[in-house]
Structure 1
Amino acid sequence: MNDLDKQRDVPRRQFVALSGAFGAAALLAGSGGAAAAAGPGKPAPCPCPCPTDPPPPGGGQNPCPPAHMQALCGSPADNDPLWYDVRYCTQGIAPPPPQQRPDCLKVTPNYVILHGQPVSTHNYLLLPSCRVTGIECPFIVTSDAPHYWHEAWENARSGGSVPVQYANIGLGINSRAARRLNQLHIHMAGIRPSAQRRLQELEATGRVAPTPAQWGDPQFQAAVSGPPGAGDRTYRVLRLNSLDQNLFTLLYRNVVVRFGLDMADQTLVVVPKTTAAGAFAGSFYVLSSDTSLHDGTSTCDYLLVYV
């Protein structure tokens, strides 16, 4: 697919303003809402999901960004190829030619899982079932947003619905500038064995933040090697015992706000810790980075393995 035009640049203050408009306690308590959309030649606006659309599989109600966040979260009338795929999987609306109908590997009220490109047994995508352009959408840091990272891990792990068949599993999301397609998608892929080893070495020497409040402290910023010849990249490294929480909120509060950064510039990578035998060790390394760091990066592609 050809690269899509990038979303119009909106400064961090608009992210904060839109988040604030979601409700006085939006970032702390969350709020309900639905997105509306209309455009030239499009049907009249209706909430997301539209009352006339078929309900999400399972009959559940998926939370969506409200209409006033469309500037950063997108409109249900948008023509992004991944959004077409989501609409096909959740509503049965075929994408326009020449785009092919996707293989809907799993469909739930809150997310769908598709093959990544190129197709392999360790290249999958988890996408919200509502219109969410990407990491810059203020809705994803509210308490109404599903725990997408937890769902990605539960599906990608051994025994999950769409298991990643690779020695080490990695989950990641790109910044707005680094991605090609504008529907939020978490990569479910392999992770380089050297990254797993490096992160365990960092933890053994006290170089991994034990709490989100310390995420980004200088002693918890470390270089991790990418593919041969690509050099090291610097990441803020945090350890969590569970992904059943909103990682986007943790990133926003403890990194973006703390250091005066732009959410749109962030990349986020999750690496489940493994034992010497390759089994899940019960905790996760969560890596954030952006180009404000020396040798930082705004893409997860240095660490993830897709083919």
Structure 2
Amino acid sequence: MSENHWENQPGTPPDVTPECGQESDGERLYLWRQIVHWRSGTGGSQCNPLIELDKQNHWSVMNGGATGASGWLLVPTDRKKGIECRDIWTHRDPNYWNAAWGYVRSPYGSPTTTGLGINSKDKRTQDQLHIHIATFQSDAKTYLDARSPSEIATTPGDWAKKLLTVPSDSKPGQVYRVLHVKDLATDNLFNLLQSNVVSSDQMGNQTMIVIPAKSGGFYVLNSDISLSQGAAFGTGTCNHLLKCS
């Protein structure tokens, strides 16, 4: 086992589990079909949004999304439905979050204005795992940067306890669990969430957002509709904090 707990070597795909989907199941498969077209040798046309490919690590970067969302998407080239896919949070896959952050550079975005996010099963429009690489809401970052150290978890074991109602531009504040991490390379953020915050059967209901912190490192925000704080409630979509559409 490697020092950062990845059990597979990069580019070694695990067996597909039912939670991750099969090659041809489902209906919301625009992104997955682009991957299939590329693998079959029919991709690369103007209709295919795939703009960069890492064959060794089995992921791609796509422009926008099926509905014309702004920003970019990091999409595995192996079949992974979404956040409910057990393979992505059992240390059997590459580090998709760290990979996505590696693309936060020109022309994909600036580290000072760009965040990452993934929607819950019910809130996404595509059943192939995709991490949004998009501009974050400035109000949210300003608010998070102003929090005292005691308001944000610095260890995964405290993540579930640190609830904040985070404002965002033109939208009511939503409730998030907030963790600060020093980097995205050391741990599997999906695994940290499943191991410390929610049970396996609840992973499909989660949204996750990553925003760079002013002091260094990253805020990792998680929410689902079960959360509440005063009059505010949680959410299953990252769209409140990222300009994904």
**1:252 and 2:186 aligned:** no
Residue of 276, 282, 297 corresponding to 2:235: 297
Residue of 172, 184, 205 corresponding to 1:265: 205
TM-score, with length taken from structure 1: 0.69
- Structure 2 spans left out of the alignment, 5+ residues: none
Give per-residue Cα distances to partners, 1:250-297, cap 9 Å, x unaligned.
Answer: 01101113xx860000000000123xxxxxx53000000001101010
Q: Is the 8 A contact 1:64 1:131 kept in 2?
A: no
**1:154 and 2:91 aligned:** no
Bigger-Rg structure (1/2): 1
Name 2:86's counterpart in structure 1: 138
Q: Which has the higher contact order (CA 8 A, sep 6+)?
A: 2
TM-score, with length taken from structure 2: 0.85
Q: Is the 8 A contact 2:6 2:91 kept in 1?
A: yes
Name 1:114's counterpart in structure 2: 62
Deviation, structure 1 residue 154: 0.9
Task: Calculate the aligned-residue CA RMSD, in Å.
Answer: 2.8
Deviation, structure 1 residue 63: 3.3
Name 2:24's counterpart in structure 1: 77
**1:234 and 2:192 aligned:** no
Name 1:225's counterpart in structure 2: 167
Letter of the 1:241 counterpart: K
Letter of the 2:195 counterpart: R
- Structure 1 spans left out of the alignment, 5+ residues: 1-28, 33-59, 275-280
Letter of the 1:250 counterpart: L
Deviation, structure 1 residue 303: 0.7
Name 1:26's counterpart in structure 2: none
Q: Is the 8 A contact 1:90 1:107 kept in 2?
A: no
Q: Is the 8 A contact 1:173 1:299 kept in 2?
A: yes
Distance 1:304 1:208, change over 3 A: same
Give per-residue Cα distances to partners, 1:238-260, cap 9 Å, x unaligned.
Answer: 00001012110001101113xx8
Q: Is the 8 A contact 1:62 1:129 kept in 2?
A: no
Which secondary structure does the structure 2 equivalent of 1:177 belong to? coil
Name 2:108's counterpart in structure 1: 163
**1:214 and 2:158 aligned:** yes
Distance 2:243 2:37 in 1: 27
Deviation, structure 1 residue 205: 4.9
Q: Is the 8 A contact 2:14 2:92 kept in 1?
A: no
Deviation, structure 1 residue 65: 4.1
Deviation, structure 1 residue 61: 6.7
Deviation, structure 1 residue 306: 3.4
Residue of 88, 95, 116 corresponding to 2:37: 88
Distance 1:151 1:31 in 2: 17
Letter of the 1:214 counterpart: D
Letter of the 2:188 counterpart: N
**1:66 and 2:15 aligned:** yes
Deviation, structure 1 residue 62: 2.6
Which secondary structure does the structure 2 equivalent of 1:132 belong to? coil
Which secondary structure does the structure 2 equivalent of 1:151 belong to? helix
Distance 1:286 1:61 in 2: 24
Distance 2:201 2:19 in 1: 16
How many residue pairs get matched? 233
Name 1:101's counterpart in structure 2: 47
